[in-house]
Amino acid sequence: MSTGAEQTLVICGHGMVAQRLLEKLVGQRQQPFSRIVVFNGESTPAYNRIQLSAVLAGDASEDSLQLQEPDWYQQHNITVYQGDPVTEINRANRTIYTASGRAQPYTHLVIATGSRSARLGLEGEDLAGVMKFRDLQDTRKLIEVSQRHRRAVVIGGGFLGLEAAEGLRNRGMAVTVLHRSGHLLNRQLDPSGGALLEDALSERGLTIHTRTSPVALLGRNLVRAVQLDDETLISTDLVVIAAGITPNTELARDAGLDCDSAICVDRQLRTCDPHVHALGECCQVDGQTFGLVEPGYQQADVLARVLCDPTTDAAFKPSIIPTRLKISGIPIFSCGQTEANEDTESVVWQDYETNRYCRLLIHNQRLTGAVLFGETSDGPWYSERIQQADDISPYRAHLAFGKHYCEAA
Ligand SMILES: Cc1cc2nc3c(=O)[nH]c(=O)nc-3n(C[C@H](O)[C@H](O)[C@H](O)COP(=O)(O)OP(=O)(O)OC[C@H]3O[C@@H](n4cnc5c(N)ncnc54)[C@H](O)[C@@H]3O)c2cc1C
């Protein structure tokens, strides 16, 4: 292995997870890299992508996205090239090449290229006015379109689609949401929770169609209508596709690294090449891919330790991550299992007056899932019970009423 003075770490991608890795690396006591060089596809330094929903809705400014002061990188001797994506990894001579023609040798390479909005393969998907909601550029364009046009269709009733829809509605557009499944947020909510959410969003003015799929996007140059599977046509000026993500694996595949749905890495985030690691939404661990930032942060923590001390036993273990909807005034929390099966029991509590709903799933006196609607302050406490697999029998009768009742019991 090279001596510390010669080691160059190259990071391909500067998203939220790469930024967390940088912060963890500079926090390590012993840092083996004489140079850290980051190449980013986007023209802005890493920013808080999660907050784009709030920016679209007009609830936050672009300034609030910043993760680090501009001089932080210089202070830590980190070189960042913005707007210069890596186009090739040559593993034989350990060098990456970029779109602008740079060649950068590495001793260690980290791929953190994240993912992109999934394409649906629909006729008309390339028409002007068909957009995605993934980065700051998209958000700026969506805001601009919302100022010139009135009607929008959002394809996808998951977190991203609903946050896009609500953001555009907040900006004055008439928005229709199309969702393939029978209820909204079907991966996080049970059907009752999904129905409550649909009511709340409909009351605000969103038009929601569940159990429906678009078959074509129609228009000459500009999208004008969405055709549904039952032949219905919905007129529109804008279509936002928010129906899943595709990990950015092309670079890794072209370099001959093992990929499946994403770049395959072990629990120390190592690809099949010991000099190349991958983390965040572009990677896959134990067959699992990730669409949330928290697992990426956990991976960054592990990888910083692995890169600084190859003898460490630090390892990333996928865990159950709670999720929340970021639409103000509609608190939703979901963690773990959402649908009962023959092995689980359900505890359901609903207050029609205050529109609060809680569904808990239990297996062998252990909490395995929690769906909360309307009041979610106990969410982290339920999440802890799920993670720790505590025996809930001493306070089971109080479980639906939350932390304080259970602790008192
Ligand atoms: C609007 C929105 C809201 C979200 N809300 C939440 C939320 O509430 N909670 C949550 O947990 N998650 C949320 N997410 C998901 C979260 O943002 C991602 O999980 C997280 O950003 C993944 O981080 P990453 O670093 O792996 O990838 P990314 O943040 O996607 O960063 C990857 C970067 O790599 C760059 N890149 C790609 N290819 C190359 C290349 N060849 N060379 C150089 N650079 C390249 C890309 O341009 C990008 O900047 C949201 C996502 C969006 C879009």
Determine the Cα–Cα distance for residues 3 and 162; give it in Å rounded to an integer. 51
Asked if residue 265 has pLDDT above 80, the reply is yes
Q: pLDDT digit string (tens) for 208-231?
A: 999 999 999 999 999 999 999 998
> In this structure, are 236 and 272 located in the same domain?
no
> In this structure, are 371 and 342 located in the same domain?
yes
Task: Look at phi and psi of residue 287 and say left if phi exceeds 0, alpha if psi is from -120 to 50, else beta.
Answer: left
Whether 325 maps to a domain, the answer reads no
Closest residue (by CA) to atom 3 of ligand 1? 50
pTM of the model: 0.94
Lining ligand 1 with CB less than 6 A are 12-18, 39-42, 49-50, 52-53, 85-86, 112-115, 133-134, 160, 248, 251, 280-281, 291-294, 296, 326
> In this structure, are 235 and 256 located in the same domain?
no
**Percent of the chain residues topping a pLDDT of 70:** 99
Asked if residue 2 has pLDDT above 60, the reply is no
Closest residue (by CA) to atom 15 of ligand 1? 292
> In this structure, are 291 and 355 located in the same domain?
no
Whether 324 maps to a domain, the answer reads no
Average confidence (pLDDT) over 196-214: 96
Whether 326 maps to a domain, the answer reads no
> In this structure, are 384 and 399 located in the same domain?
yes
Judge contact between 158 and 194, C-beta under 8 A: no
The pLDDT value recorded for residue 169 is: 98
Whether 313 maps to a domain, the answer reads no
Could you tell me the residue range of the domain that residue 347 belongs to? 331-408
> In this structure, are 110 and 13 located in the same domain?
yes
Strand order in the sheet with 103-105: 86-90, 95-98, 103-105
Whether 236 maps to a domain, the answer reads yes
Q: pLDDT digit string (tens) for 114-163?
A: 999 999 999 999 999 999 999 999 999 999 999 999 999 999 999 999 99
Residues 6+ apart with CB under 8 A from 250: none
Nearest residue to 166 via CA among 293, 295, 332: 332
Q: pLDDT digit string (tens) for 70-125?
A: 999 999 999 999 999 999 999 999 999 999 999 999 999 999 999 999 999 999 99
> In this structure, are 232 and 377 located in the same domain?
no
The amino acid at 138: D
The pLDDT value recorded for residue 4 is: 42
Whether 29 maps to a domain, the answer reads yes
The pLDDT value recorded for residue 407 is: 86
CA of 55 to the centre of ligand 1 (A): 16
- Which residue, 293, 308, 323, sits at the end of a domain? 308
**Percent of the chain residues topping a pLDDT of 90:** 88
CB burial of 232-266 (b: ≥16 within 10 Å; e: otherwise) equals: eebebbbbbbbbebebbbebbeebebebeebbbbe
- Based on the structure, what is the number of domains in the chain? 3
> In this structure, are 234 and 251 located in the same domain?
no
Average confidence (pLDDT) over 171-192: 95
Asked if residue 237 has pLDDT above 80, the reply is yes
- The CATH number assigned to the domain holding 19 equals 3.50.50.60
Residue of 67, 134, 292, 334 to test ligand 1 pocket, by largest number of atoms within 8 Å of CB: 292
The pLDDT value recorded for residue 1 is: 43
Whether 336 maps to a domain, the answer reads yes
> In this structure, are 151 and 211 located in the same domain?
yes
CA of 161 to the centre of ligand 1 (A): 16
Closest residue (by CA) to atom 12 of ligand 1? 292
The pLDDT value recorded for residue 3 is: 45
Judge contact between 344 and 386, C-beta under 8 A: no
> In this structure, are 74 and 19 located in the same domain?
yes
Whether 400 maps to a domain, the answer reads yes
> In this structure, are 80 and 101 located in the same domain?
yes
- The CATH number assigned to the domain holding 352 equals 3.30.390.30
What's the mean pLDDT when you consider all of the chain?
Answer: 95
- Which residue, 206, 241, 276, sits at the end of a domain? 241
> In this structure, are 68 and 37 located in the same domain?
yes
Is residue 326 very low, low, confident or very high in pLDDT (cuts 50, 70, 90)? confident
Is residue 328 very low, low, confident or very high in pLDDT (cuts 50, 70, 90)? confident
CA of 49 to the centre of ligand 1 (A): 6
The pLDDT value recorded for residue 68 is: 96
Residue with tokens 């003015």: 205
Q: pLDDT digit string (tens) for 353-368?
A: 888 999 999 999 999 9
